[in-house]
Amino acid sequence: MTKPRDWPNGAADARDRSAEEAVKVIRLLTPILERHMTQEELIRRVATSLVSVQLIARILENVGAQTKP
Protein backbone atom coordinates (compact mmCIF):
# COMPACT_ATOMS: atom_id res chain seq x y z
CA MET A 1 0.00 0.00 0.00
CA THR A 2 1.32 3.44 -0.84
CA LYS A 3 1.86 5.99 1.89
CA PRO A 4 -0.87 8.68 1.95
CA ARG A 5 0.35 12.02 0.67
CA ASP A 6 0.90 14.73 3.29
CA TRP A 7 -1.62 17.54 3.34
CA PRO A 8 -0.43 21.09 2.62
CA ASN A 9 -0.01 23.07 5.86
CA GLY A 10 -3.13 25.20 5.45
CA ALA A 11 -5.30 22.27 4.44
CA ALA A 12 -4.03 20.11 7.29
CA ASP A 13 -4.84 22.88 9.77
CA ALA A 14 -8.32 23.29 8.25
CA ARG A 15 -8.87 19.53 8.41
CA ASP A 16 -7.88 19.40 12.08
CA ARG A 17 -9.89 22.48 13.12
CA SER A 18 -12.95 21.20 11.25
CA ALA A 19 -12.66 17.80 12.89
CA GLU A 20 -12.42 19.41 16.34
CA GLU A 21 -15.55 21.47 15.67
CA ALA A 22 -17.40 18.41 14.34
CA VAL A 23 -16.62 16.50 17.54
CA LYS A 24 -17.84 19.51 19.55
CA VAL A 25 -21.17 19.37 17.68
CA ILE A 26 -21.48 15.64 18.33
CA ARG A 27 -20.87 16.19 22.06
CA LEU A 28 -23.44 18.98 22.17
CA LEU A 29 -26.19 17.15 20.29
CA THR A 30 -25.85 13.60 21.63
CA PRO A 31 -27.29 14.40 25.09
CA ILE A 32 -30.41 15.81 23.42
CA LEU A 33 -31.23 12.28 22.29
CA GLU A 34 -30.28 10.63 25.56
CA ARG A 35 -32.00 12.68 28.26
CA HIS A 36 -34.58 15.31 29.01
CA MET A 37 -33.43 18.88 29.42
CA THR A 38 -34.90 22.32 29.81
CA GLN A 39 -36.03 24.28 26.80
CA GLU A 40 -33.26 26.80 27.48
CA GLU A 41 -30.58 24.09 27.54
CA LEU A 42 -31.94 22.61 24.31
CA ILE A 43 -31.86 26.00 22.58
CA ARG A 44 -28.34 26.70 23.87
CA ARG A 45 -27.04 23.37 22.57
CA VAL A 46 -28.68 23.76 19.16
CA ALA A 47 -27.50 27.37 18.78
CA THR A 48 -23.93 26.52 19.78
CA SER A 49 -23.97 23.58 17.36
CA LEU A 50 -25.16 25.82 14.53
CA VAL A 51 -22.30 28.25 15.18
CA SER A 52 -19.82 25.35 15.09
CA VAL A 53 -21.23 23.97 11.84
CA GLN A 54 -21.04 27.43 10.27
CA LEU A 55 -17.41 27.68 11.42
CA ILE A 56 -16.65 24.31 9.83
CA ALA A 57 -18.06 25.56 6.52
CA ARG A 58 -16.02 28.79 6.66
CA ILE A 59 -12.79 26.94 7.54
CA LEU A 60 -13.24 24.54 4.63
CA GLU A 61 -14.19 27.34 2.23
CA ASN A 62 -10.98 29.17 3.15
CA VAL A 63 -8.95 26.24 1.82
CA GLY A 64 -10.95 25.93 -1.41
CA ALA A 65 -14.04 23.89 -0.61
CA GLN A 66 -16.84 24.88 -2.95
CA THR A 67 -20.20 25.52 -1.30
CA LYS A 68 -23.50 26.61 -2.76
CA PRO A 69 -25.11 29.64 -1.13
User: How far, in whole angstroms, is CA 7 from its chain's centroid?
Assistant: 19
DSSP string, 34-54: HS---HHHHHHHHHHHHHHHH
Q: What is the pLDDT of residue 53?
A: 96
Per-residue pLDDT tens over the stretch 2-55: 777 777 777 888 889 999 999 999 999 999 998 888 999 999 999 999 999 999
Alpha-carbon span 49 to 28, nearest angstrom: 7
Q: What is the pLDDT of residue 42?
A: 94
pLDDT confidence bin for 69, thresholds 50/70/90: confident
Q: Give pTM, 2 decimals.
A: 0.79
